[in-house]
Structure 1
Amino acid sequence: MRKLIYGMNLSLDGYIAAPGDDIGWSEPSDELFEWWLEREQAIGTFLYGRGLWETMSSYWPTGDEQPGATEAEIAFARNWRDTPKVVFSSTASEVDWNTRVVTGDAVAEITRLKAGDGGPLRVGGAALGAAAMRAGLVDEYEIVTHPVLVGGGKPFFTTLDGWVNLDLVETRGFPGGVVMTRYEKRPA
């Protein structure tokens, strides 16, 4: 069974985007960006909600061609294009860059993908991540906390029907007071 990882940059008060979808507070250091690159290179398939898909696809298809792109940004863009992606949306119809759209039941499709062969799956986007969490499908959480309070916006965590017990498996500090914590779901 494939592992499902949910991880993103968060404000200290738990938001992945401030009001107005502002993510300007989460500018990564070179060290953090390289950590994300390493983590993304280990993923077999990216699972995106429509909003995160629009954000990622607006830049990364040509991120390696941007003036001043670093070696890590070039590698990230190429990895992003090459890695299979699934976009869960009832409105997105045109996708490219090794991507397909699923308009049906996201939980059923994620469950099917988890049961298959291949590398780990990464779920991204607040609504899609929330659906996977509520269904008990997330195996690992990668939380990169930035030292800023944004006061509202899109939360990383959602209301759950019950507790989810986790084991801390890794912590790491990055420049600027950013802290990564990685948790695995404790077996029932």
Structure 2
Amino acid sequence: MRKLLYGMNLSLDGYIAAPGDDIGWSEPSDELFQWWLEQEQAIELFMYGRKLWETMSSYWPTGDRQPGATPAQVEFARNWRDTPKVVFSSTIGKVGWNARLVAGDAVAEITRLKAGDGGPMRVGGATLAGAAMRAGLIDEYEIVAHPVLVGGGTPFFAALDGWVNLNLVETRTFPGGVVLTRYETRR
């Protein structure tokens, strides 16, 4: 069975984007960007909801050719292009960049993928991750909290029907007061 991870940058009050989809507060330090790169290099399959797909695919296909791209950004772009992706959307007509489109039942498809052989998968996008969270499919949470309160927007966590018990497996502080807490789901 494959491991499913959900992790993103979020504000201290729990939002991945402020109102208006503003993520300007989450600019990573070089050290944090390098950490994210290492995490992404360990993933064998990315799963995106429509909004996160549109954000990622609008920049990373050519992120290595942007003026001033750092070596880590160049490597991130290459890794992003090379890693297989599944995009869940009923409103997009087609996807590119080593991705396939799924318009049907996201939870059923994630369950099927998780039951197969292979390395870790990452789910991204609040709506898609929320569905996986409610279905009990997430094995690990990577919470990268930035020292900012945005007061509203897109929450990292979905409303749940019951408790999910977690084990703390890692903490780390990055420049600027950014704190990683990584938890595994207690099964």
TM-score by length of 1: 0.99
Partner of 2:132: 132
Q: Which residue number in structure 2 is paired with residue 52 of structure 1?
A: 52
Counterpart residue type for residue 64 of structure 1: D
**Given the alignment of the two structures, is residue 15 of structure 1 paired with residue 15 of structure 2, yes or no?**
yes
Three-state SS of the structure 1 residue aligned to 2:63 is helix
Partners of 2:19 and 2:64 in 1: how far apart? 29
Give the superposition deviation at 1:117.
1.2
Q: Partners in 2 of 1:92 and 1:138 — Cα distance?
A: 25
Amino acid at match of 1:166: L
Q: Distance in 2 between matches of 1:129 and 1:89?
A: 13
**Cα distance in 1 between the residues matched to 2:119 and 2:44:** 4
C-alpha RMSD of the superposition: 0.4
2:184 partner letter: E
Correspondence for 2:85: 85
Aligned to 1:173: 173
How do 1:30-41 and structure 2 match up within 5 A? 30-41=30-41
Q: Distance in 1 between matches of 2:164 and 2:145?
A: 20
Trace 1:101-180 onto structure 2 (pairs within 5 A). 101-180=101-180
Which AA in structure 2 matches 1:185? T
Tell me the CA shift for residue 118 of structure 1.
1.2
Any unmatched runs of 5+ in structure 2?
A: none
Q: Which 4+ residue blocks in structure 1 deviate beyond 6 angstroms?
A: none
> What is the count of residue pairs matched by the alignment?
187
After superposition, give the CA deviation of every residue in 1:97-123 in whole Å (9 maximum; x if it has no partner): 100000000000000000111110100
Separation (CA, whole Å) in 2 of partners of 1:62 and 1:117: 31
Q: In the TM superposition, what is the alpha-carbon distance from 1:142 to its structure 2 partner? A: 0.3
AA partner of residue 84 (structure 1): P
Structure 1: runs of 5+ lacking an equivalent: none
